[in-house]
Structure 1
Amino acid sequence: MREKTGILIFSRSTDIECSVKKFDGNQSFFESQKERLENLCSKTGLDTIWYNEHLQVGGNFGERFCNSISSVFSKGYNSLIIIGNDSPQLKYYHLQSSIDSLQSGRVSLGKSFDGGFYLLAIKKQHFNYPEFLNLSWNTSKVSSEIIQLLQTKAKVSFISTLKDVDNQLDFSSLLNFSKQLYTDVILILKRIQKFFDFNFQNPSLFNEKIIFGSFQNKAPPILSRVCRTS
Structure 2
Amino acid sequence: MRDINKIAVLLFVRNAYEESKLKQLVKGESSKNVHLFKYLNKRIVNTVKQTDFDYFIIDSSHQHGNTFAERFKHAFKSIFEKGYDAVISLGNDTPQVSSQTLHDVVHCFENHDVVVGKTNLGGAYTIGLTKYAFSKCSFESVDWSTSRVVESIEKRAIFQGSSYFQLETVYTELSTHSDLKLFIQQLIEKEICLIEDYFFLGLIRPIKHHYNYRQLKMNALQIGVTEIRGSPAA
Residue aligning to 1:142? 149
Residue aligning to 2:46? 39
Kindly, what percent of the aligned residue pairs are identical?
23
Residue aligning to 1:194? 206
Residue aligning to 1:170? 179
Q: 3-state DSSP class of the match of 1:121?
A: strand
Counterparts of residues 201-212 of structure 1 (less than 5 Å):
201=213
| Post-superposition CA distance 1:187-207 (Å, at most 9, x none) | 3443444359x999567xxxx
Query: Structure 1 residue aligned with 2:58, among 39, 44, 51?
Result: 51
- How far off is 1:130 after superposition? 6.0
2:139 corresponds to 1:132: yes
2:116 corresponds to 1:109: yes
Give the whole-Å Cα distance in 2 for the aligned partners of 1:156 and 1:9.
Answer: 21
Q: Is the 8 A contact 2:25 2:174 kept in 1?
A: no
Q: 1:93 to 1:16 in 2, by over 3 A?
A: same
Q: 1:223 to 1:109 in 2, by over 3 A?
A: same
Give the whole-Å Cα distance in 2 for the aligned partners of 1:120 and 1:70.
Answer: 14
Bigger mean CA deviation after superposition, 166-175 or 24-33: 24-33
Q: 1:118 to 1:2 in 2, by over 3 A?
A: closer
Give the whole-Å Cα distance in 2 for the aligned partners of 1:48 and 1:35.
Answer: 14
Q: 1:86 to 1:111 in 2, by over 3 A?
A: same
Whichever residue aligns with residue 18 of structure 2, its letter is I
Whichever residue aligns with residue 173 of structure 1, its letter is L
Gaps of 5+ in 1: 204-221, 226-230
Residue aligning to 1:82? 89
Bigger mean CA deviation after superposition, 149-158 or 106-115: 149-158
Q: Is the 8 A contact 1:4 1:77 kept in 2?
A: yes
| Post-superposition CA distance 1:107-135 (Å, at most 9, x none) | 32101111111101110100146622222
Q: 3-state DSSP class of the match of 2:82?
A: coil
Query: Structure 2 residue aligned with 1:120, among 115, 127, 146?
Result: 127
Bigger mean CA deviation after superposition, 152-161 or 8-17: 152-161
Whichever residue aligns with residue 36 of structure 1, its letter is R
2:184 corresponds to 1:182: no
Give the whole-Å Cα distance in 2 for the aligned partners of 1:40 and 1:13.
Answer: 17
Gaps of 5+ in 2: 27-31, 216-230
Give the whole-Å Cα distance in 2 for the aligned partners of 1:191 and 1:199.
Answer: 12
Q: 1:191 to 1:165 in 2, by over 3 A?
A: closer
Whichever residue aligns with residue 29 of structure 1, its letter is L
| Number of equivalences | 206
Q: 3-state DSSP class of the match of 2:8?
A: strand
2:36 corresponds to 1:29: yes
Counterparts of residues 152-167 of structure 1 (less than 5 Å):
152-167=161-176
CA-based RMSD = 2.7
TM-score, normalised relative to structure 1: 0.78
Give the whole-Å Cα distance in 2 for the aligned partners of 1:127 and 1:54.
Answer: 23
TM-score, normalised relative to structure 2: 0.77
